[in-house]
Structure formats: C-alpha cells, structure tokens
Amino acid sequence: MQPSLEEILDNFAFLDDWDDRYRYLIELGRMLEPLPEDAHTDRNKVHGCASQVWLDAKVENEPEGAPRLIFRGDSDAHIVRGLIALAFAIYSGRPARDILQTDALPIFDRLGLGAHLTPQRSNGLRSMVDRIKADARVAAAG
C-alpha cells in the first residue's frame, strides 16, 4: 500500500542524505500497483519525459459529488516510478476539481526535488502533473 503524502513528507524530512532520499523514491516506485501491459499504450504515454512514462486514469463518479480520479502508472526508470508514486500521493483518489486546484510545485520544492533532479527529470515531473490535470479537466467537464 502506498504511503500518504504526509508520510512521504515526514520520511523525506527524516532522511538527511540525498542518496537515502533517492533510495526512498525508488522504494516508493516499487510499491506502485503494477500497470498491466495492455495499459502501456500511446494514449497513456506521457510526452515530455526523457524516460518512458505511462499514466492511466480511472474516473469514479460519486453519487453526490464531483468525479474522483484514480491513477495508475509505470515507467522504465526506477526514480521516475518513485516520482509517479509521489504525484499519485498528491492527486490520486481526489475529486477532479481538487486536482485542478492543487499546485504540486510547492510540495516538490519543499522536498528539494527542484535542486536535486536533473532538468530532464524536472521537466518530466511537470509533464506528469500536466497530464494528471488534463485528465481532471476532462473528467470535470464530462
């Protein structure tokens, strides 16, 4: 089971060394639910990432509220799988309108990711967030 965002933030704060934080990100990625091979499609592929990244969104319509989105994902890079897990801790299981109102960049900055990820990985992370928000816009409009 994936840890909550609060648990991730607490664990990052506990780990002083960036090598340990990278290992923790990799461990988060290992905890992701496997994405079935038939979901590794062009439609699910995230463009703008140096690594191969696939995100699959499932919309759950709530009887008395806005649709919620549940995300699954995969990457061919271990650290990127961890970044996917982090993005899911922020966004997955939340109503579309909340996803659209949530800015992940302050959370990434709080974790120090901007200073410790390569520019390509940072761009890829932004591309993942953009894709998640695009899926939320479609669900909110639908």
List the catalytic residues. 49
Q: Is 99 exposed, middle or buried (0-12, 13-18, 19+ CB in 10 A)?
A: buried
Query: Are the beta carbons of 104 and 126 closer than 8 angstroms?
Result: no
DSSP secondary structure, 3-52, as one string: PPHHHHHHHHHH--SHHHHHHHHHHHHHTSPPPPGGG-STTTBPTT-SS-
Number of C-alpha atoms within 13 angstroms, CB side, residue 61?
A: 6
CB 92 within 8 A of CB 101: no
